[in-house]
Structure 1
Amino acid sequence: VIVALAIMAIGFVTVSQLFSGSIRSVSLSEQYLKGTTLAHSKLGELEVSNYSVSAFEGTFPDEKKYRWELQIKPHTSALNNKENNILLSEVTLNVLWEDKGKTHDIELNTIKVDGELHPSADSLLAKSFGGGPGSIQASESESESEDSSADESTPTQNISGSSNSYNNYISGAKTHHVSGN
Structure 2
Amino acid sequence: MPSRPRSPTSSAYPSAGWTSRAPTPTPTPRDWDAPVLCGYETVAGDLALSLDVWTPHAPATPDARTARDAATAPDAPTAPGAPTAPNEPTAALRLAVLSGTTVLYPATDLRNPSAYWAATPDGLVTRARVEESDDPAEPRLTVEAVEARVPHLPGARVQLLPEVYRSEPIELPTTGADPLGVTPT
Q: TM-score scaled to structure 2, two decimals?
A: 0.21
Q: TM-score scaled to structure 1, two decimals?
A: 0.21
Give the number of the structure with larger relative contact order, counting CA–CA contacts within 8 Å between residues 6 or more apart: 2
Could you say which structure has the higher helix fraction? 1
Structure with larger Rg: 1
